[in-house]
Amino acid sequence: MVAKLNKISAALALVCSMPLIAQTNTDATAPAESQGEIEQIVVTGKASGMSGFKVDTSYAITNVSAENIGRLAPKSTAELFTVVPGVWAESSGGVAGANVFVRGFPSTGDAPFLTIQLNGAPIFPPPTLSFLENSSIFRLDETVHFMEALRGGSTPVLSNGQPGLTTNFLLKEGSEVTEGLVKFSTSSYGLRRVDGVVSGEIADRLYVMAGGYISSSEGPRETGFNSEKGHQFTVNVTKELDNGTINVYTRQTDDHGVWHLPVALNVPGVDNDYSQIGPNNRLGKIAYGPDGEEQSYDFGDGRGWNGGITGGTVDLDLTDSWRLMYRFSHIAGEANTFGLVPEGGATTLGNVEGINGPVTGVTSGDTYADDTVVQQIGRWVVMKDIEAFTNDIAFSKTTDNAVFTLGYYATNFSVQDWWSIGNQSWFVVEKGGEALSGIDCNDSLESCSWNYDIDATGDGDTSAFYGAVEYQLNEQWRVDVGLRRESHKITYVVDEGLTGDISKAVDYDESKTAWTAGVNWMWQRNMGVFARINKGNKMPFFDDFRDNYGGFESGDKLIKEVTQYEFGYKWAEQNYSIYLTSFYNEVDGEQFVTRPGVPAEILTTEAMGIEFDANYRAANGFAVNLNATVQDTEIASTGNQVMRQPDWMLRVTPSYGFDVADMYATVYGTLASVGDRFGDNGNTVTLEGYSKIDLGVQLDITQQLKAQLSVANLTDKDGITEGDPRSAGSPNGRYIMPRSIDFSISYTF
């Protein structure tokens, strides 16, 4: 640990020696912020649900306004998370199926330490199931008011007890003024998208906001067909009462896109524009079950979400000192995955075993020679139905110098899974390369190396009592503590092989306690420090039992215990702010699974790091943000670095606004850099760091008409986000998205 401390200290000295250049504030323009100030109001992270200034919080939180979400123009929800210090988000797989890593917390992929909330309630309490992480079922559009991202802090005690990252998306609400927006977007990859939102008063103190989008495109990798398409519609109704508000919303989504996977990095012509899937291979047949039943699927459907989220909030002042906060959320829908997944590296046709005659293309009929580059690709089918109903109620008592909160959180959730993964065939390695015939493995769908077929269903029930006290000792000192007692139940049955018989059955019931304690010292009105310790739990869900069935005598050992320490400095003035947070965490018992059906490796890890977030806004229209993370992760048993966790990350986002004739223009950009990572826990595969530049210009043509042009990955950098999680030694990897140009024009009224 001493060596770690020296490394972190040296990196901190480097970061602090940089000029203070920060953004038009990825944190800027949250609600209730005056246009002349850089400090903002936050609403996430307090048990009572009460809002406060960010500079007064005793935890690390980042805000991103609707305006800045628009400027960032993220291609997916997960891509937005790249603006949060301490977070490494791999969004190279498309609109869904991202991997999100938080402060060195270990993971093989997906996002086990991420919770997404909508208006303060988790959209789906299990943060990750195989082939499903929360960002896959949430789409950004013009109905989002802003996002808050809270790392560590009080999260192990509140809501679903997420010890890692909680991102809370707040919807826009109506007001007495009728207003709206219509926006058309296009791009270099054939995007056609229309967004709209309108809000206003529909009755006395009854307000509504409604909006959504329709979208279709080939995607940045230009697959040759409309591989990313969908629509979404949201309604948010708010009733203002004499003693509070009642809010109800519903959000219906049907959106999906091609699932981009690692490709053969050692083959000429395979770059960040390459996509294995295309018109010649999007349709394919698999064989599954003990009788080899065959079925065709459209693998162009990729990953996505077809379902709805309905929820609401009741926020009432019961008396002068008592307050009620109640949130609920219900989600139901399908989150299916169809993908072409590589199985090992590329080779030439002459090296393939089982050739039984001339090798020809299934689609074209062309004959291929022995020097043709080919790769074994699996047709993976995962069909997943999910449902959850969540309730969170809290009563708060406010005194002259304290707030006492007692709450109850309860949720039940279910999943129905049908998988057939494996299903390998040989394909030509070219963009949209076709499958081949004349090879035993391809001609007989059951003759390839492995398959894993399951039919599974599970139900879960989590309930927790939590309490918190926030006590103001004097004008400078404030302390807060929180405690959570959680009961977690899982019933789960699995039919492996689709034989009709249950091969695994789980009946699990365990309880655990989580807690947090923090102290905040504001020695000046806008300057102070905080310290916090918390101990939380990542409870086991369905995949944990399937991959570790019978592996532990006590189900308690499947619970991952997370201990975190934080120390932060903050300083916020009218036109600049600095937030510096150091952290140390230990995760005991996280599972690593190379592929579904393979037993997990259980590891204990620790991480130490520093997050730096600085913002500056000048009177002449110049603004800039610098956020950086330096961290060191370690697997306790080996001393190796945790897989896919970078040593450092840096984002610099400047902008400059100026008059152009009768119009106003804003030019902005982002330089994002990341250090080397390892593709496996054995640290045998190095993923090289890279830098990416994004540029954009926003033009206010009139007060109501606005145009925006943005260029992502300006230099067309071939950065790698991951290797091959299923075969660490193979020469496969997944590129970041290629250069793309987006243009939009919007009209507000």
Q: Which residue has the tokens 């409604």?
A: 210
The stretch 723-742 carries a mean pLDDT of: 91
The stretch 518-541 carries a mean pLDDT of: 95
Name which residue leads in pLDDT, 732 or 728: 732
Residue 273's contacts (CB-CB under 8 Å, 6 or more residues apart) are 221, 222, 431, 738
Residue in 445, 411, 439, 409 with CA at minimum distance from that of residue 426: 439
| pLDDT score, position 550 | 75
465 pLDDT higher than 50: yes
The stretch 576-586 carries a mean pLDDT of: 96
CA distance 625 to 652: 6
Tens of pLDDT, residues 647-672: 999 999 999 999 999 999 999 999 99
Residue in 155, 52, 46 with CA at minimum distance from that of residue 102: 155
Phi, psi of 49 (to 5 degrees): 80, 5
Tell which phi-psi region holds residue 601, choosing left (phi > 0), alpha (psi between -120 and 50) or beta.
Answer: beta
610 pLDDT higher than 70: yes
Q: Are 401 and 381 in contact (CB under 8 A)?
A: no
> If 0-12 CB within 10 Å is exposed, 13-18 middle and 19+ buried, where does residue 273 land?
middle
167 pLDDT higher than 50: yes
* Ranges of each domain in the chain: 2-748
Length in residues, the chain: 749
CA distance 630 to 246: 43
Structure tokens at 545: 């039992």
pLDDT band at 31 (very low <50, low <70, confident <90, very high): very low
| pLDDT score, position 729 | 79
Structure tokens at 39: 């400090």
185 pLDDT higher than 90: yes
| pLDDT score, position 602 | 77
552 pLDDT higher than 70: no
Structure tokens at 133: 């992480």
- As separate numbers, helices (DSSP H) first and strands (DSSP E) second, the chain gives 5, 45
Instruction: For the chain, give the mean pLDDT.
Output: 91
Position 231, amino acid: H
Element holding 8 (H helix, E strand)? helix 2-16
pLDDT band at 252 (very low <50, low <70, confident <90, very high): very high
| pLDDT score, position 554 | 52
Q: Please report the DSSP string for 40-81 in residue order.
A: -EE-SS-TT---EEGGG-SSEEEEEEHHHHHHH--SSHHHHG
Q: Are 609 and 630 in contact (CB under 8 A)?
A: yes
Residue in 122, 32, 48 with CA at minimum distance from that of residue 317: 48
Instruction: Give the chain's largest Cα–Cα span.
Output: 86
Name which residue leads in pLDDT, 55 or 237: 237
Q: What is the pTM of this model?
A: 0.93
| C-beta neighbour count of 351 within 10 angstroms | 8
Beta-strand (E) ranges in 188-223? 192-203, 206-217
| pLDDT score, position 742 | 98
The stretch 696-724 carries a mean pLDDT of: 96
Q: Which range has the worst mean pLDDT, 10-19, 232-241, 593-602, 711-720?
A: 10-19
| pLDDT score, position 599 | 67
CA 110 to the chain's CA centroid? 8
pLDDT band at 2 (very low <50, low <70, confident <90, very high): very low
> If 0-12 CB within 10 Å is exposed, 13-18 middle and 19+ buried, where does residue 575 land?
middle
CA distance 690 to 669: 17
Residue in 404, 514, 541 with CA at minimum distance from that of residue 460: 541
Q: Are 43 and 51 in contact (CB under 8 A)?
A: yes
740 pLDDT higher than 50: yes
Position 598, amino acid: V
220 pLDDT higher than 60: yes
Structure tokens at 584: 């140390």
636 pLDDT higher than 80: yes
Tens of pLDDT, residues 38-96: 667 888 888 888 888 898 899 999 999 999 999 999 999 999 999 999 999 999 999 99
pLDDT band at 32 (very low <50, low <70, confident <90, very high): very low
CA distance 417 to 136: 16
511 pLDDT higher than 50: yes
| pLDDT score, position 25 | 36
| pLDDT score, position 298 | 97
Q: Which residue has the tokens 């919303």?
A: 249
Q: Are 593 and 109 in contact (CB under 8 A)?
A: no
| pLDDT score, position 28 | 33
4 pLDDT higher than 50: no
242 pLDDT higher than 90: yes
What DSSP character marks residue 367?
A: B
SS3 37: coil
CA distance 459 to 457: 7
Where would I find the H helices in 65-150? 66-72, 77-80
Q: Are 556 and 524 in contact (CB under 8 A)?
A: no
CA distance 42 to 150: 10
547 pLDDT higher than 90: no
The stretch 681-690 carries a mean pLDDT of: 93
The reply to whether CATH 3.40.50.1000 applies to domain 2-748 is no
Q: Which residue has the tokens 């997990």?
A: 600
Beta-strand (E) ranges in 473-621? 477-496, 504-524, 527-538, 560-572, 576-592, 601-617
Q: Are 74 and 62 in contact (CB under 8 A)?
A: no
List b or e across 663-684, with b for residues whose CB sees 16 or more CB atoms inside 10 angstroms. Answer: ebbbebbbebbbbebbbbbebe
10 pLDDT higher than 50: no
The stretch 683-706 carries a mean pLDDT of: 96
Pairing of the two strands 114-118 and 165-171: parallel
Report the share of the chain in percent with pLDDT over 90: 82
SS3 180: strand
Sheet holding 165-171, edge to edge: 60-65, 144-151, 165-171, 114-118, 121-122
The stretch 686-715 carries a mean pLDDT of: 97
Name which residue leads in pLDDT, 318 or 445: 318
Residue 386's contacts (CB-CB under 8 Å, 6 or more residues apart) are 124, 129, 132, 307, 331, 332, 333, 334, 335, 413, 414, 415, 416
Structure tokens at 213: 């989008």
726 pLDDT higher than 90: no
Report the share of the chain in percent with pLDDT over 70: 92
Q: Which residue has the tokens 């009460």?
A: 50
| pLDDT score, position 725 | 84
